[in-house]
Amino acid sequence: MFKRGAFLPIFIVIVIVLVFFTAIYFFKKDTQAGTTGFIIENSSDENNSGTGIENLTGISENKTNSSKPPTSNNSGGGGSSGGGGGGDSGDNGETSRQNGELQLLNFQTSPVTNITEKYEKFEISFNLAEDASYSNKYDSDIIKIDGYFTSPSGKVYVQPGFWYQNYVRTGANDNEILTASGLPLWKIRFAPTEIGEWSYTIVAIDANWIKTSLTYQFNAQESRNPGFIRVSQQDNRYFAYENGTVFYGNMLDLCWHESAGPHRQTYSYDYWISEMKVHKANFFRIWNYNMVNGVQEGDWIWHIQDSQAGANYDQKDSWRMDYVVEQARKNNIYIMLTFDDVNELIPGNKWENNLYSNFLSNPGYFFTNSQAKELHKRLYRYYIARYGYSTSILAWELWNEVNEAPENPDITTTEAQVDAWHVEMAQYFKSIDPYKHLVTTSDGSLTPPRPGRDWNLPELEFSQMHGYVIYNNPNDWQDNAELVRSYSQYILGKGKPAIWGENGVWGITQAGAWQEACCLHQNIDNSKSHCQEIECQRYDTNGLAFHNGMWAGLMRGLASTTPYWDWYLLRDAPAWWDNHLYIGNFIEGINFIGSNYQYVNNRPSGTITPIANDTSNNLLMLGQKNNTNGIFWIHNKQNNFGNVIMQGNTPTPIPTSTTITISGFNNGNYNIEWWDTWTGNVVGTTIRTVNSSGNLVFNLGDVSWDRTKDVALKIRKIGA
C-alpha cells in the first residue's frame, strides 16, 4: 500500500502525462489543409478568433485556424489539381497518411550565402528519395510540394514548388542550342517582401504521407526593386509599384520569337530587350500556346503544355521563359504573359492540333468541361510556381482575343460561359499566387466592340482590347489616332486601368470582307489570295501608323502606349525604335497618379464635352489636364497611314494662325513646352496668361514645328 504522502507526486505526474498526450492529439487535428499561395498573418489580438489570410495589399480574404503547414493524417490530401488555397484538400479523409521529416537530397540554395534582397529571387533546389516513383510530377494529386515562408513580421507565404530541368545555351544569334545540364530536380522560387530574417519549411504530400522538412533561414536586405505592379490606389486608371510610384507602360507586342532571321529563339529577346532598354520601352506581351501539339504546330511559338494534357511539360520552352523573365528583370522591363490564343479553339485553324480535342467534342466545351478546367488549373499552378516570384511579371493574360470564341458559329459556347470561366480562373489565381499578380484577358475587334462583357468583371483587374479598324466612321479607319480615340471609350471608365494591347493597319472593304491595307496600295501586288499586311507596313519606314496610335493612347488616358503589330518591323526599320524613345522621354516626370487628370479633346465622342477648341478643321487635339497643368497632343489629321503611305499624299500644313483655346485652368501665368514628337526635342517654350474668361489661348505659330505632322505640349502653371 502507498502512503498518502507518496501518492500525491505520482498523481501529479499522471495528470501531466495525460495533458501532454491530449495536447499532441489536438495539435495534430488542428492543421491547415493543403493551403497554397496564401499569405497568412499571425494576429496578436487575443480577441481575434482565427488568423487573417491576406494578400499583399493587406485586404483580408479568408480565415483559417492555423498558420502551420499540414502535418497530420487526412489534413491536406494529395492536393486537387483544381483546388487552391484552403480548398486544395484532395483525399477528403479517405486516405490515411503518415507523418515524418522530409529528407531533402542534393539540397542547395541560391544565393548560397542565404542572403538576398527584398523582392529578388531566393531559390531552393532539391530531390526526394521517392522522385522515381512519381508517374507525373506536374500533378499535385500525385505529389505536391510547397514552401512555407515566414516573414520577420510573422506573415506566412505559401509558394508552390515545381519540377525543373536545367539547360545550357550555346550557339549564335541564328542558331540557339540548348543542352540539358545536370539531372532534373525540384525547385521553389520565392521573393521576400520584407527585410530581415525569414524562416521556411518545405512540405511534400503524396498518396502515402505528409512530410515536413527542417526549418531553414535566410536574410533579405533592402534593395532598389520597387516591388510588384498593382492598380494604383490613388488613381485606379493607372498602374503603380508597391512603393506607390507610377508605372506607365511604354509597350510592345513581342508575342513570339523569330523562327527565321538574324535573331532566333531566346536570341530574339536578347535583341529586343536590349533595344527596349536603350529606347526606354518597359513593357511587352509574350505568348505561349498551351493546348496545341508542339510538334504538329511547329517551332514558331513556345509551348509549356504541348505533348500531353496535364503532363510532360516542355522543359526546354519553360527554360526559355526563365531566361526571358530574368533578362527582363535585369533591365527593369515588365511582362504580360499570355497563356492561350483564341485560334487554338477555331476549327480549321488550330483546333485539330489541340490536345483537348482528344476528349472535347466541340472547342466551346473547354469553358465548361471540368476536366479541361482542372488541367488548366494544374498548368497555372506550374506557371505561378516557376515565374510567380518575379516582379517583372506585370500580369497574367488568360486569353488573347477570347471574345471571338462565342462569336464563332463553330464554337459552342456563350458569352456568359466564357465570363464564368474567367471569374473561376481569376479566383483560382488569387487563391494560389502569394504575390497576387494582376489578372486580365483581351478582346479583339474583328467585330464591333460592345459595352460590357469581360471588361466589367471585377476579377479582371484591367481591361484590354485590340483594334485595327473603325466601324462607325469608315472615313477615319486609315488613321490610327482616330482609331484609338474612338474605340478607347469602350474600355475606359470601368474603375480600372485600360490598355490597347494591339494596334495595326488592317482594313475593311465596303462589302465587309477582311483584307489587309496593303492590298489597297497602288504599288503592291494584290493578286495574292492573302496579302500580308507586313508588305505594306514596310513602306511605313518611320512608323507613322505606330506613332499616331502611341501618342493618341497616351493622351486618351490609357495606362500604356498602344503597341503595334507586327514587331518584326522594329528590326527592319530601326527608326521605329525612336518612337519609343521619344515618347519615353516625354513621359518622364509626369505624375499620372497624383494629378487627377481629366480627358480633353477638340472632337467630342459620345457624352464627352470638349473643353479644348481650335480654329482649324484639320487637326485632332487630345490631352489630359487638371486645373494647373496638363499634357496635349496636336495632330494633323491628314498625316495618317492611309493618306500618306497608301495614297502617297503630302499633308497640308496646319495654318500658323490656328488658335487653341483650353478652358478650366486656374488664373495665372503658364509655361508651355513644345515637343517635336519626331525628334524627341523641345523646340520651344512660351508663356501665356489665362484670360478673364478663364481660358488659356495660344497660336500654333508661336513656335516653329513641322505642321504637316504633330506636336506635343506640356503646360504648367508657373509657381504651382
In a domain, 526, yes or no: no
In a domain, 483, yes or no: yes
Nearest to 464 by CA among 375, 544, 408, 397: 397
Same domain, 588 and 670: no
Indicate the average pLDDT of the chain: 83
Please give the average per-residue pLDDT across 135-149, as a whole number: 97
Nearest to 71 by CA among 34, 124, 22: 34
Q: Report CA 626 to chain centroid distance, whole Å.
A: 29
Answer yes or no: is pLDDT of 539 > 80: no
Same domain, 463 and 362: yes
pLDDT, residue 662, reads 92
Please give the average per-residue pLDDT across 647-675, as a whole number: 92
Same domain, 580 and 616: no
Max Cα separation, the chain?
Answer: 119
Tens-digit pLDDT profile for residues 517-538: 444 443 444 444 344 444 566 6
Same domain, 460 and 583: yes
Tens-digit pLDDT profile for residues 627-643: 999 999 999 999 988 78
Same domain, 335 and 433: yes
Question: CATH number of the domain that 483 lies in?
Answer: 3.20.20.80
Please give the average per-residue pLDDT across 75-89, as a whole number: 34
Please give the average per-residue pLDDT across 45-72, as a whole number: 36
The dihedral of CA 396, 294, 144, 189: what is its sign?
A: negative
In a domain, 343, yes or no: yes
Cα(600)–Cα(428) distance, integer angstroms? 39
pLDDT, residue 601, reads 87
Same domain, 492 and 555: yes
Same domain, 45 and 187: yes
pLDDT, residue 36, reads 45
pLDDT, residue 219, reads 98
In a domain, 369, yes or no: yes
Same domain, 565 and 648: no
Same domain, 287 and 149: no
By the 8 A CB rule, do 294 and 307 touch?
yes
Question: CATH number of the domain that 95 lies in?
Answer: 2.60.40.10
pTM equals 0.85
Answer yes or no: is pLDDT of 412 > 80: yes
User: Can you name the residues that pair with 716 across neighbouring β-strands?
Assistant: 629, 671
Same domain, 491 and 464: yes
Same domain, 583 and 625: no
Cα distances from 264 to residues 267, 283, 299, 571, in angstroms, run: 5, 20, 11, 13
Answer yes or no: is pLDDT of 606 > 80: no
In a domain, 600, yes or no: no
Answer yes or no: is pLDDT of 596 > 50: yes
% of the chain at pLDDT higher than 90: 64
Domain extent, residue 660, equals 612-717
Q: Which helix (H) or strand (E) holds 637?
A: none
pLDDT, residue 297, reads 72
Same domain, 309 and 187: no
% of the chain at pLDDT higher than 70: 78
Lowest pLDDT segment from 273-282, 613-622, 643-652, 670-679? 613-622
User: Of the candidates 177, 204, 221, which is a domain's last residue?
Assistant: 221
Tens-digit pLDDT profile for residues 676-712: 999 999 999 999 999 888 899 999 999 999 999 999 9
Please give the average per-residue pLDDT across 425-450, as a whole number: 87
In a domain, 647, yes or no: yes
pLDDT, residue 69, reads 67
